[in-house]
Amino acid sequence: MSPSSFRLPLLALAVAAFAIGTTEFVIMGLLPEVAADLRVSIPSAGMLVSGYALGVAVGAPLLAALTARIERKRALLLLLGLFIVGNLLCAIAPTYGVLMVARVVAAFCHGSFFGIGAVVAAHLVPPGQRARAIALMFTGLTLANVLGVPFGTFLGQWAGWRATFWAVTGLGVLAGLAVMRFVPALPNLRAPDMRRELRVLREPQALIALGMTVLGFGGVFTVFTYIAPILQTQSHVSPQWTGAVLVLFGVGTTLGNLLGGRLADWRLMPSLMGILVALAALMALFAWTMHDTAAAIATVFVWGIASFATVAPLQSRVVHVAGDAPNLASTLNIAAFNLGNAGGAWLGGVVIAAGLGLPAVSLAGAAVTVAGLLATVASVALERRSPVSLPSHA
């Protein structure tokens, strides 16, 4: 198969990943605008992040089961249809309650799309190029932080936050058309055995690994959910320049994603523990540096690197300990990331509502990541007593 024969299908999947990543993260840059327009508090607006994340956490395993017997391309198109409907409802939502429901609807496609999309990407290319194909699809998600979120923030501040969701709806339509046109049907792709896959939930190491993801990454969203008000009220960054700082954060996440992948291939668990230590330390430091504009911007950049350096190691650990259930384990870990996002956004809102101040939000995020580090240490200790074996996969 020539490279040109699978480049366009992979690009179509990457466009969809870009749209999904943008709608997930862009709300953080628009919290002040959404809160003001819908007449709710910043912590209440922050719960829109939790609502989306919980939608992913619930929708990932549910839709994985419901679409297990559907041909993969058709399943991708159905999931993108759900994404389009959810974001259209966001754009026209008249009240906070409707917007919350719309965010959950949009989120339901997230976990299953990435789970199915990764399988499709791997089967579009020769065996020796599968990891690169999956990475290319996930590049769309990474670029959402570099381009989609800042542009969406700029657009929302200029034309109103609803304009951002209209734009994301258009991206979803474009992605659907691209998948329909360029991604081939794969009728011979074997559906997963869900009964076998569900056995992963009985493995202690798999459950600990999912907990590591919830806590290790949950600390990031304790802070990132409220990054716009932090930058604007504590760091004295104007609303117009908030998007530019988010671009810098996005560049950091891209570098961190690449770094985390290399470290995971080198020495998985020692690298993961080191990254979590650095991540917790940076969030603790941010509680102090957020009061100085230059120091805050520099910290946000390095924090972006550390934040997404966790992703590949956490995903690799879950797949490693999942035994013969890698498909569901991978999907559940995406749900675990978003469960951490939801819990982090909720915790940050609780800290703000309690009047403890925005610096305390950063300290709370550091504490959550330390909990993830302790779970990682416990996993290593358990593995030393009872080593994880890697079964052969069909």
Model pLDDT, residue 111? 82
- Report d(CA 309, CA 259) in Å as an integer: 6
Are 1-191 and 192-394 equal in CATH topology?
yes
pTM comes to 0.75
Domain ranges of the chain: 1-191, 192-394
pLDDT beyond 70 at 340: yes
pLDDT at 247 over 50: yes
pLDDT of residue 275: 95
For 1-191, CATH gives 1.20.1250.20
pLDDT value of position 129 = 67
Range with the poorest average pLDDT among 16-25, 163-172, 284-293 = 16-25
Question: Would the pLDDT of 331 be above 80?
Answer: no
What local confidence, expressed as pLDDT, does residue 1 receive? 47
Mean pLDDT, the chain, integer:
85
Average pLDDT, integer, range 33-54: 88
Locate 339 and state its tokens.
């469960």
Query: Which range has the worst mean pLDDT, 157-161, 337-341, 345-349?
Result: 337-341
Per-residue pLDDT, 390: 43
pLDDT of residue 149: 83
The fold of 192-394 is Growth Hormone; Chain: A; (1.20.1250)
